[in-house]
Amino acid sequence: MTAGFVDIGLFEATAIGSLPHRDPARACEVVLEALPSVPHWPQLPARDPREDMIRQFLEGMPGVGESEDGVYLRPPSEVLEQWEGFLRKVEEGRSEAFSISRERAEGLYAFLDRVRGLKPPFLKGQVTGPVTMGFSLKDEGGRAAFYDEELREMIVRVLASKARWQEEVFKEAVPSAETIIFFDEPALAGYGSAYMNVRRQEVIDALKGAMADLGGLKGIHVCANTDWPMVLEAGFDIVNFDAHGYREEFLLWTEQIGEFLRRGGIIAWGIVPTDAEALKGSTPSGLAEDLRRCLEHLEASGVEGEFLRRSLITPSCGTGSLTEAEAEEVYRLLRELRRVLGRSHG
């Protein structure tokens, strides 16, 4: 966790990453109009399959095989030269060797061009987390790469380098901006199930390793229920969760939430729904009321209000699976919710 308390503002808004748009310029417009203080670069999986949350971060990973059927990892013994090159780059600290190419992230490069002139106070990036990546990639036998200690360590190092590279290009584009990097971990919804037979410490070590090289704020996004005490204790500055669908489950852990906030942590409430049906009935005032009840519950449980007001607000998940109109409605609601909260808590 970054030392001290970072003044991120009062109920500032940001978002997760993916949008359904194919035009990077339009996607950036949507983001920057809704999120002037904490914008994120848009991931555009509809534009190119290589922009999905797995393929987008594969460059520089030794032993990767890509086909129409999916992605797999070959063992180090079969790609020894690739592994030697990978280890050399890691030892030399060459994060640029793990950059994300324009072909896999048009939205990132369009975003960097736009923010140079705008100079927002924060810039948010994102990378797929090591647990999700480790359970999405399989060896040639179909076994999750996370179960192989050598492959798991490689995945952690690649993702750590890609996260660090994002910090560097953000600082190059807007030197005055504070950086925020989220690790997207939807697979943590399966932690503790038969699907994910791993030890708690293995998960924590992977998460800590992935964020170890970052100098700015470090966040995690989990869009379902999980072991929240583990996530809150892992060392992130920001914990983002689906507060629309899973707030009751999250709020069971008031003691751990309070400890996290007192250490300087920030809760990012994913209160704006990204489900198309739920979106139809949502209003800024209704969402503000939902959030108010969450905050009152925590205050009644002994969590100091001064810490809760340092919260962020976000959509519950990415918007890549929605239509463009639905995604833009999510961002409009987020913008209006920020205004409502600013008036009521300012």
**Is the sign of the CA dihedral 129, 267, 41, 17 positive or negative?**
positive
The Cα–Cα gap between 247 and 257 comes to 12
Is the confidence at residue 139, as pLDDT, over 90?
no
Helix, strand, or coil (residue 285): helix
Residue 185 dihedral angles phi and psi, to the nearest 5°: -130, 60
Q: What is the mean pLDDT of the segment spanning 168-175?
A: 97
Q: Is residue 44 part of a domain?
A: yes
User: Where do the H-state alpha helices sit in 224-323?
Assistant: 228-233, 247-250, 254-262, 276-280, 284-300, 305-308
Q: What is the mean pLDDT of the segment spanning 314-333?
A: 98
Q: pLDDT value at position 55?
A: 94
For residue 203, how many other CB atoms are within 10 A of its CB? 25
Residue type, 291: L
Name which of 247, 296, 251, 309 is nearest 272 in CA terms: 247
CB 184 within 8 A of CB 129: yes
Residue 131, class by beta-carbon neighbours within 10 Å (0-12 exposed, 13-18 middle, 19+ buried)? Answer: buried
Q: Is residue 6 part of a domain?
A: no
**Whether this model's pTM surpasses 0.85:** yes
Confidence category of residue 3, pLDDT binned at 50, 70, 90: very low
Confidence category of residue 4, pLDDT binned at 50, 70, 90: low
The Cα–Cα gap between 323 and 87 comes to 42
Tens-place pLDDT, residues 278-294: 999 999 999 999 999 99
Is the confidence at residue 5, as pLDDT, over 70?
no
Which domain covers residue 233, as residue numbers? 12-345
The Cα–Cα gap between 341 and 295 comes to 12
CB 266 within 8 A of CB 228: no
Q: Is residue 4 part of a domain?
A: no
Q: What is the mean pLDDT of the segment spanning 87-111?
A: 92
Q: What is the mean pLDDT of the segment spanning 66-95?
A: 84
Q: Is residue 308 part of a domain?
A: yes
Is the confidence at residue 41, as pLDDT, over 50?
yes
Residues in the chain: 346
Q: Is residue 3 part of a domain?
A: no
Report the run of H or E that residue 172 belongs to, with start and end: helix 149-173
Q: Which residues pair with 307 in a beta bridge?
A: none
Tens-place pLDDT, residues 13-26: 999 999 999 999 99
CATH of the domain at 224: 3.20.20.210
Confidence category of residue 6, pLDDT binned at 50, 70, 90: low
Residue 103 dihedral angles phi and psi, to the nearest 5°: -60, -30
The Cα–Cα gap between 146 and 222 comes to 18
Q: What is the mean pLDDT of the segment spanning 242-271?
A: 96
What whole-number percentage of the chain has pLDDT above 90? Answer: 81
The Cα–Cα gap between 82 and 61 comes to 8
Q: Is residue 29 part of a domain?
A: yes
Q: What is the mean pLDDT of the segment spanning 82-102?
A: 88
What is the total count of domains within the chain?
Answer: 1
Is the confidence at residue 310, as pLDDT, over 50?
yes
Name which of 226, 225, 220, 333 is nearest 276 in CA terms: 333
Most confident range (mean pLDDT) of 69-73, 88-92, 227-231 is 227-231
The Cα–Cα gap between 183 and 198 comes to 19
Is the confidence at residue 306, as pLDDT, over 60?
yes
Q: pLDDT value at position 154?
A: 92
Q: Is residue 119 part of a domain?
A: yes
Buried-exposed string 99-108: b where 16+ CB fall within 10 A, e elsewhere:
bbeeebbbbb
Q: pLDDT value at position 2?
A: 59
Average pLDDT of every residue of the chain: 93
Q: Is residue 2 part of a domain?
A: no
Is the confidence at residue 274, as pLDDT, over 90?
yes
Q: pLDDT value at position 12?
A: 95
The Cα–Cα gap between 178 and 111 comes to 16
Is the confidence at residue 309, as pLDDT, over 70?
yes
Q: Pairing relation of β-strands 238-241 and 312-315?
A: unpaired
Q: What is the mean pLDDT of the segment spanning 325-344?
A: 94
Q: What is the mean pLDDT of the segment spanning 88-102?
A: 89
